[in-house]
Chain A
Amino acid sequence: MDLYEHMGKDLFRAHGIPVPQGVVARSPEEAAEATRRFGGAAVVKVQVQAGGRGKGGGVALVDSPDEAARRTARMLAEGFAGHPVDRVLVEERLPIERELYASFLLDRSSGDYVGLATAEGGVEIEALAAERPGALRRVRIDPMLGLRPYHLRELTGVFPPSAREGAAAIVRCLFSLLREADATLVEVNPLVELVDGRVVALDAKVTIDDNALVRQPDLAALRDRFPIDEVERRARQAGLQYVKLDGRVGIIGNGAGLVMATLDVVARYGARAANFLDVGGGASADTMATSLEVILSDPAVRVVLINIFGGITRCDVVARGVLEALGRIEATVPIVLRLDGTNAEEGRRIIAEAAHPRIVSAPTMDEAAAQAARLAGEAGP
């Protein structure tokens, strides 16, 4: 889960990391009022789960409450890089001496934590790493050892001497935040040294491990604060993994890998998926019913493709679930059904006996995808 900057900064404050004073504004009026509080000049920052805000016009330096209101109105109306925007962060303007960078992340290749620091903050760090790797300090931290003083010296040694002490305090707190909040990434770009010598985190990028939300109740509560599609909300409540896409073939499958493969095979037959929906392992009749309801509520869907390879999931249960769902809701589009694996024969028999007019059975994944593409009217030549 990627946190909004203002949520990340709340975490920073709680861990003793200095950040600018700021106010979350949900309307132009609130932004103007906040700017007035900061003496008439402020920074307005769009709040989205995406990077590249500086370059993309998501950050505005404003010199009056009126300007803050105007810029906020535009951000709320236009969104940012395809993301809806329902709030901005209005912060005090600080006199900056120089911009630095610090981050920690969990490196999935090695299973270690990695700390990164450079004296050249405020730029795209991927570009810096590619062009001038020498400017970027990198330390590997064994998860069982944790951050040691020598790690800290190595990281902060890249900063100018005047900023080292202030930066070291922040970097130490960043690492404890990473562990205590079950984050997989904490990044400060830029970390700034002010004209008066103080060091402050001007930005905050924090990603929380979804698997750890069960033991981070305060962070788990934030999950419902992000604006998402109504259909995605329903799916999440039912415990389904659902992602809206922009094609016409509604997809239901079990297991993320198989569902992704289904998307690919549908594309191979010239059609595009309307969604990704993974019912997970051991899907019950009720799960199948909810999945179908979710998919059929998307008006773009012209056909539904259900691709099940039963392992823990039993095909007879899936078959009953599909029929149960079709008893509860009216299917306005055809449903292509492919069942294989555990209890597949029983599942196919149940479907055949029901002889539902909307259900088309397909013997293999390829034939199911081809059928679905044809029925969606999207099949290639």
Chain B
Amino acid sequence: MSILVGAETRVVVQGITGSEGSFHTRRNVAYGTRVVAGVTPGKGGQAFDGIPVFDTVAEAVRETGANTSVVFVPPRFAAEAILEAADAGVELVVCITEGIPVRDMAEVHSYLRRGATELVGPNCPGVITPGVANVGIIPGEVCTPGRVGLVSRSGTLVYQIVHELTRRGIGQSTCVGMGGDPVHGIGFVEALARFEADPDTDLVVLTGEIGGDDEERAAAYIADHVRTPVVAYIAGFEAPPGKRMGHAGAIVTGSTGTAAGKAEALEAAGVAVARTPSEVADLVAERLDRRATDA
């Protein structure tokens, strides 16, 4: 088992013929992901590495039964691409595109909450269930199958922390890169709910960063609803207030949104908070040992 992507995942790649789309499609296919269709308006009827290309997502879904979309289209067209996938009845949209105007995302967010389509991202590395399916740009070779779930706002921190886990022989059930944009799809709370319900996830690693209140809301949710052990890491203790650190999401404003405030909220909810990525793996190993001993 796993969350969000698995053996049943059938992927349509929006922007399959672009440079990013084609590069990562090949990597996802090589990993064993079932990529069943591509969409590039105006290139319907062609094929990419034997994968049929369609003009619209609706056609791709009709012809191939795709249930998951991954979006690699440029920022100007990405919001439209998400809406198109939702209207075509795709269950999950993973949007990799970085730089989508937040006004467009606010409208997409509003529209999606009326329907059944789930969104991961935008500005995210995607979702991988090690050994089964890789939807997005996470380097599959750093992952190994196992029973620890991971959800992260930062992309490269997914790689760093998964690498630390894998080095210690700790495998992952599913890794979710939720993205760093202010308005996004699935967040910590939604991912935690899924991991909590997943019988094959024994522990969850939550990787946050400064800015916003996703971590604080996760802490409140964990206190009330999560029995699975959670280990957290927050990046940005050294970030000076008021400075932008690259991510649209990584902005410290005033007293809220700081790394210290987030760590405190999570610790109050019983979450072990690591101070470095390597310490995350130490804390995970410790808790898994304790769990094994208890059992």
Chain A residues within CB distance 8 Å of chain B = 50, 106, 108-109, 111-113, 126, 142-144, 179, 182, 184, 209-212, 214-215, 241, 243, 245, 253-261, 263-268, 272-273, 276, 278, 281, 309-312, 340-342, 364-366
Contact = CB atoms under 8 A, between A and B. Distances in A.
Contacts of B243: 243, 276
Given A111-B105, A257-B154, A264-B275, A211 B238 contact: no
Nearest to B113: A111
Given A209-B102, A264-B236, 8 more contacts: A111-B183, A144-B111, A182-B102, A184-B182, A264-B259, A264-B275, A265-B276, A365-B160
B247 A256 contact: yes
Contacts of B246: 241, 256, 259, 276, 278
Nearest to B122: A211
A22 B205 CA distance: 54
B152 interface: yes
A255 B212 CA distance: 18
Among all A-B residue pairs, the 9 with the closest Cβ atoms? A257-B154, A255-B156, A256-B246, A258-B156, A111-B109, A212-B101, A108-B182, A143-B106, A257-B157
B141 to A, nearest CB: 8
A179 B104 CA distance: 10
Given A142-B110, A255-B156, A311-B155, A261 B182 contact: no
B245 A365 contact: no
Nearest to B242: A50
B41 to A, nearest CB: 20
Contacts of A310: 139
A364 B278 contact: yes
A182 B103 contact: yes
Interface of B: 75-76, 98-103, 105-107, 109-111, 125, 137-139, 142, 152-157, 159-160, 163, 180, 182-183, 207, 209-210, 212-213, 217, 233, 235-240, 242-250, 254, 259, 275-278
Given A212-B103, A267-B238, A366-B278, A261 B109 contact: no
Contacts of B249: 108
Contacts of A179: 103
A112 B235 contact: no
Interface majority SS (helix, strand, loop, mixed), chain A: mixed
A311 B137 contact: yes
A255 B183 CA distance: 19
7 contacts: A109-B213, A211-B75, A214-B75, A258-B235, A260-B245, A267-B237, A365-B278
Contacts of A266: 238
Given A112-B106, A126-B254, A264-B238, A254 B111 contact: no
A144 B163 contact: no
A109 B212 contact: yes
A311 B236 contact: no
Q: Which of A278, A312, A365 has the most CB of B within 10 A?
A: A312
Contacts of B111: 144
A106 B180 contact: no
A380 to B, nearest CB: 14
B256 to A, nearest CB: 10
Given A111-B106, A243-B243, A257 B100 contact: no
